Structure 1
């Protein structure tokens, strides 16, 4: 479906489907953006689907223990809330949050105003039980955090669950560091001209951040909560081929789609970030295809295949357009290995089992669509195997 066609279908819904301001974030692998106990009706994952309803922009991010999913459990982030927690927080601002791998707790970065929509602002990392969603405690943080869309890179745990990193924007950018053992904020580290948090996989005190000059900054957190940013060499051209902050961790690397249809594989483990590969997925393909949406790329870790939401006739500013196709890109062979028609998807993720399935957000119908992936060697032709309502305005989907 070309641009004008989907816009025509979206009359009266475009603002809701594509212009809502949310602020949750999903973390590494099969992390959840919002969890509610129990399954839901119309389950696309065989009885283990959880739908979330939009409420007061309460978003919680889960980085739970990484287990093989039972057919793929899809969880949404669309300004989600749960009824129990909502009784405690009737008036709140947009939130972000994680559950680090190995942790049973849910961490939510949130903002409260004393007079509902005005008054004194207070920001916290709130801690909830991952088993029954009951509130446990809160950690005060700076009143600077970015209240933006549900991008994973705005709230991330460090390796070993030592720290939580919160992206700030006033609009000056910095990163709040929360020491989980001490249960307190230990610092705000400036990352001027840069945005997004991409922690190292092996070093608990290290994270990277994307910068507007085409470099990637690396910050090592000192015990007192301070740190200095070390820039990389130029990795991408911000004018000709800007990259999305919606990245996916693949092993020790981060995989970033670009506005121009390329994939950048970046290593952030060292003192400075390094470009590992640049895969020109859309080069030479007729139709000026580009990635789009709010969660345009996901990776199956074991087989090293990236799946990317693509739309034709891409132009400057079309990077949020819903997909017409889903492309499969072999990150090891560095080539496109399949293309298939898609619903107008704005978000995509894949489960990590031996029989992987894709879960896409249909941005026009606000539905979650499951695609069972073909076996190796077979044509890459996707047909929806199940659908379910995604609540009002889903814009992130995660699987565990």
Structure 2
């Protein structure tokens, strides 16, 4: 919600000042005397009228406030920018940004606060988005409270704030810390207190209906209709099946598919047609089918050839993968990879067809790449958080840099989300 208050015109300001002067001046030209009991203010009105030029036209009625609203369906060029404000963590926010808007003053369509590395998710069919954040009673100290804030995406007004009993996952921004069921009836919130669990919120009733323990397993990846799959510390998966009310019905483990010590993976997959593609630190991709009630492992394939692996090419970055509506996967790649470089980002973005498991394009990141996102379009643009914490807009078909967007309130815009 935005309030635009038009300032008084120069003429109106002159009239206001004249009225004030007429009412309180002690100059010899205008003498104010207390009116007798029961007398009218004719003399006072006459004094005021002498200050107004009668030849001027009457002033138009001015709007003193104007409430703006956003469209129910956001344009394809709009993106949610997760601004973590990592240098302070108190000034974090979600910025709704139009990456196609040529005028800098019109690019920002709205903002919502996101305190202490809050987690974010946006609905596709509901006119809402969600922020899970934390507050201390004395700012940076004192008792802490975790809350879920539900926002109206049209007015940007909070619809509901729900206090959470369990400590939510507080980490660098990621896309899968807050997720929604396939029909968007339930919201799933990752907890880490330090015991791992996830909280289920019924978005129809705005009630917390269950908190499910997931020992040794983190993050709520939506599975089937009302199931949630979590990634476990021993390289396995844990699928929690919920009933129609969002209450835990059963849990089932999927056998380990990677070695957490020798072949670790990023817990940030690309999602295409209900398949989650988890890249490994060394360049393998593990496919997990999340379409049925229980997750199933589909095998792995490699992003890099043996020659590229030997040369040092590895994936890296924060939100290092994303997908477009054509089913292509974009991965940030580092030519100087080593153990520990997985957080460093990279100088190229590789484009993969997951059906053929092959690379179809290579794009140079002009200013390094930390995170990548694709717009929601048949002709998508890439939005890249670069090494200077600005946004590079790249045409993935040509690989050309279109523009770099800066000065939009960005400090650490670490993750970009599609807007619906």
Please give the range of the TM-score, normalised by the shorter of the 2 chains.
Answer: 0.7 to 0.9
**How far did residue 50 of structure 1 move?**
7.5
2:188–2:220 CA contact under 8 A, matched in 1:
yes
Q: Matches of 1:194 and 1:119 in 2, distance apart?
A: 29
Q: CA deviation at 1:72?
A: 6.7
Question: Which residue in 1 is equivalent to 2:338?
Answer: 315
Bigger relative contact order (CA 8 A; separation at least 6):
1
Choose the corresponding residue for 1:258, options 266, 270, 280. Answer: 280
Equivalent-residue separation in structure 2 for 1:383 and 1:111 (angstroms): 40
Contact 1:251 1:301 in 2 (8 A): no
1:299 pairs with 2:311? no
Q: Distance in 2 between matches of 1:71 and 1:94?
A: 24
Q: Pick the structure with more strand per residue.
A: 2
Cα gap change, 1:313 to 1:189, in 2 (>3 Å): same
How far apart are 1:398 and its partner, in Å? 2.4
Q: Residues of 1 paired with 2:77 and 2:378: CA distance?
A: 19
Aligned residue pairs: how many?
332
TM-score when scaled to structure 2? Answer: 0.71
8 Å contact kept, 1:356–1:372: yes
- Conserved 8 A contact 1:107-1:128: yes
Q: Do 1:71 and 1:353's aligned partners in 2 also have CA atoms closer than 8 Å?
A: no
* Cα pair 1:156 1:199 within 8 Å, conserved: yes
Runs of 4+ displaced beyond 6 Å: 49-52, 69-73, 80-83
- Superposed, 1:206-245 pairs within 5 Å as 206-222=227-243, 223=245, 225-245=247-267
Report the secondary structure of 1:97's partner residue: strand
Shift of 1:357: 1.9
SS in 2 for 1:161: coil
1:99-120 C-alpha deviation (Å, 9 max, x unpaired):
3211112222122222222222
Equivalent of residue 123 in structure 1, options 139, 146, 151: 146
* Equivalent-residue separation in structure 1 for 2:160 and 2:268 (angstroms): 30
Distance 1:72 1:296, change over 3 A: farther
* Aligned ranges 1:67-78 → 2 under 5 Å: none
Instruction: Identify the residue that residue 358 of structure 1 maps to in structure 2.
Output: 382
Which is higher, the Rg of structure 1 or of structure 2? 2
RMSD of aligned Cα (Å): 3.1
After alignment, is 180-189 or 215-224 more displaced?
215-224
1:310-349 equivalences under 5 Å are 310-342=333-365, 343-349=367-373
Residue number in structure 2 paired with 1:394: 413
Whole-Å separation in 2 of the counterparts to 1:337 and 1:370: 20
Q: Which runs of 5+ in 2 are unaligned?
A: 1-67, 102-107
Distance 2:252 2:301 in 1: 25
Q: C-alpha deviations, 1:104-154, integer Å up to 9, x for none?
A: 122221222222222222222112221121222212212311111111111
Q: Given the alignment of the two structures, is residue 56 of structure 1 paired with residue 78 of structure 2, yes or no?
A: no
SS in 2 for 1:160: coil
Instruction: Name the CA distance, whole Å, in 1 between partners of 2:405 and 2:116.
Output: 28
With 45-54 and 268-277 compared, the bigger mean Cα shift is at: 45-54
Q: Select which of 207, 210, 231 maps to 1:184.
A: 207
- The answer (yes or no) to whether the contact 2:79–2:417 under 8 Å persists in 1 is no
Task: Please say if residues 60 and 95 of structure 1, whose CA atoms lie closer than 8 Å, have aligned partners that are also in contact.
Answer: no
Alignment partner, residue 216 of structure 2: 193
Separation in 2 of the partners of 1:158 and 1:384?
Answer: 36
**Could you say what secondary structure the match of 2:121 adopts?**
coil
Match among 399, 405, 410 for residue 382 of structure 1 = 399
Please state how far the C-alpha of 1:167 moved relative to its aligned partner: 0.6
Q: Name structure 1 gaps, 5 residues minimum.
A: 1-35, 39-44, 63-68, 74-79, 375-380
